[in-house]
Amino acid sequence: MDTIDTIKEQIGNNPVLIYMKGAPNAPQCGFSARAVQALMACGEKFAYVDILQNPDIRTELPKYANWPTFPQLWIDGELVGGSDIIAELHESGELATMIKAVAKA
């Protein structure tokens, strides 16, 4: 399986998925920390991929997603965005609504 197939499988198999630097309990950059705090505040399970441990994904995902930076949040197979967008959605309450909709599905 090539890297793009792996990415497609990860996105397809996880209703809420964040590609980040580090792990949710040990983020390795401020943007990933902010994004994962917003996700955890929603109270639903989510999957993550540590791009620091997966250099192929770190290289290929920005091309696949047409989004150059990390973290990247995917909900129900769609790219939501990065740290700033995640923070805005969290502050408005939309993030929890989006996540709860796919968590219950």
Determine the average pLDDT of the residues in 37-49. Answer: 96
pLDDT digits (tens, 9 = 90+) for 79-101: 999 999 999 999 999 999 999 99
User: Peptide bond preceding 71: is omega within 30 degrees of 0, i.e. cis?
Assistant: yes
3-state helix, strand, coil in the chain (%, to 5): 50, 20, 30
Annotated binding-site residues for glutathione read: 21, 58, 70, 83-84
Q: Specify whether the CB–CB gap between 80 and 67 falls below 8 A.
A: no
CA atoms within 13 A on the CB side of 74: 26
pLDDT digits (tens, 9 = 90+) for 2-12: 999 999 999 99
Q: How many domains does the chain have?
A: 1
Annotated binding-site residues read: 21, 29, 58, 70, 83-84
Determine the average pLDDT of the residues in 32-45. Answer: 96
* CATH classification of the domain holding 73: 3.40.30.10
Instruction: Tell me the β-bridge partners of 50.
Output: 20
Annotated binding-site residues for [2Fe-2S] cluster read: 29
Domain containing 10 equals 3-103
Q: Tell me the C-alpha distance between 19 and 62, whole Å.
A: 11
User: First and final CA of the chain: distance in angstroms?
Assistant: 28
Q: Does pLDDT of 105 surpass 70?
A: no
Distance of alpha carbon 85 from the chain centroid: 12
